[in-house]
Structure 1
């Protein structure tokens, strides 16, 4: 084999490994506790707000939920399937494989913000979230929908409709609902102190507040198990 062709093959092999590593890193590895004991899984399907974007690994709100589960002597383990930049369409397309792999007892859906940022129709976002909720329930999981809100510059009518769609899906699909993941973070006078430089992603000090918003609803959901 000529040297140039060999170099191309090596380069393609290296790029393939990088792509595989990125995919594994985005979804996260299966917790050791689950692998050993087949503990019940709480699957989080989200975007950068779940995927620990810009914060140290293990300090995001999903990881903090795992700490609280352990402190409460619960057996469930969290699997963070958050991918930065993901939309409801992306989550809907990858959900079936995640359900087959992890067989979760609870699915937390934290998606929709990127739909709005990309100008996707609200009807599409709503349909995707509803389809994800139904697919999760058909797989035997309880579902929690985590809502998001858009800043006021999107216009009062749009922001209200976007906020309402999460409540509509939660009601129609009979899911648990956290109305606004960033409550107590984005809506406070000193909000910028809790965000990274991009003013979009909460920083590390905000993560416990996000966990505070999700934890009570998760506790109620688990109590019904």
Structure 2
């Protein structure tokens, strides 16, 4: 009888710890499944073709939340329409064309399908020689083409306030359509069309758009971008 009780006790102990170990393994398997799913989603996101917005504070969305800047608004539009693209905001406040040229290699990847170049405004406001601005923009265009000839480039046109002088402002304005024509690029005629010079659509500095202003800027960009990107069903 005593031996029978000992055997039953031993069997109960084995069953108890076996069940406990199984429960532990099931509990631990959930984070593994979740982690695997997260990794797969990240890999899927990385495989998407990229629309890269490369610019200064106008692209970065200075003074606002990142989701209010026009690249984020473009991403919302793309996602809602089922376009299979990833959007990257590579805007950096205060950047000139010279600084952008030096930074470009760091952000360019083989997966960039569309490259939106928005630089030059800070050159103009600082009175940098027009020939230098033109040269830097051309070199960036060449760098993108050399990295991946299949990348579609969109150039964002800019204009300056009249206080910079008629010769300089008109010469600056002409840089963008000239380069677009020379390199067979798509052109946003004026990024801030409908926003520039309107106090109610700009922040206190009179340069950077408000959230409402960026909604108009996003439309200016989308008017050109929509004909450049290709719609592919998401899987």
Give me the TM-score of the superposition, normalised by structure 1.
0.80
Q: CA RMSD in A?
A: 1.9
**CA contact under 8 A between 2:82 and 2:231: conserved in structure 1?**
no
Q: 182, 185, 189: which one pairs with 1:175?
A: 185
Count of equivalent residues? 190
| Cross-structure match for 1:46 | 55
Give 5+ residue unaligned stretches, structure 1.
1-31
Q: Distance in 2 between matches of 1:60 and 1:53?
A: 8
Q: 142, 147, 160: which one pairs with 1:139?
A: 147
Q: 71, 75, 81: which one pairs with 1:66?
A: 75
2:83 maps to 1:56:
no
* Change over 3 Å in CA distance of 1:76–1:33 after alignment to 2: farther
**CA contact under 8 A between 1:103 and 1:139: conserved in structure 2?**
no
| Cross-structure match for 2:196 | 186
* Change over 3 Å in CA distance of 1:129–1:33 after alignment to 2: farther
Give 5+ residue unaligned stretches, structure 2.
1-39
| Cross-structure match for 2:229 | 222
The C-alpha deviation readout for 1:97-124, integer Å capped at 9, x for no partner, is 2113x63111100000001111211111
2:220 maps to 1:210:
no
Task: After TM superposition, give the deviation of residue 36 of structure 1 in Å.
Answer: 3.2
More displaced 10-residue stretch of structure 1: 206-215 or 150-159: 150-159
| Cross-structure match for 1:86 | 95
| Cross-structure match for 1:128 | 136
Task: After TM superposition, give the deviation of residue 143 of structure 1 in Å.
Answer: 0.3
| Cross-structure match for 1:201 | 208
Q: Distance in 2 between matches of 1:207 and 1:87?
A: 21
Task: After TM superposition, give the deviation of residue 34 of structure 1 in Å.
Answer: 6.2
Task: After TM superposition, give the deviation of residue 48 of structure 1 in Å.
Answer: 0.3
**CA contact under 8 A between 1:34 and 1:40: conserved in structure 2?**
no
| Cross-structure match for 2:5 | none
**Secondary structure of the structure 2 residue equivalent to 1:53:** coil
* Change over 3 Å in CA distance of 1:168–1:34 after alignment to 2: farther
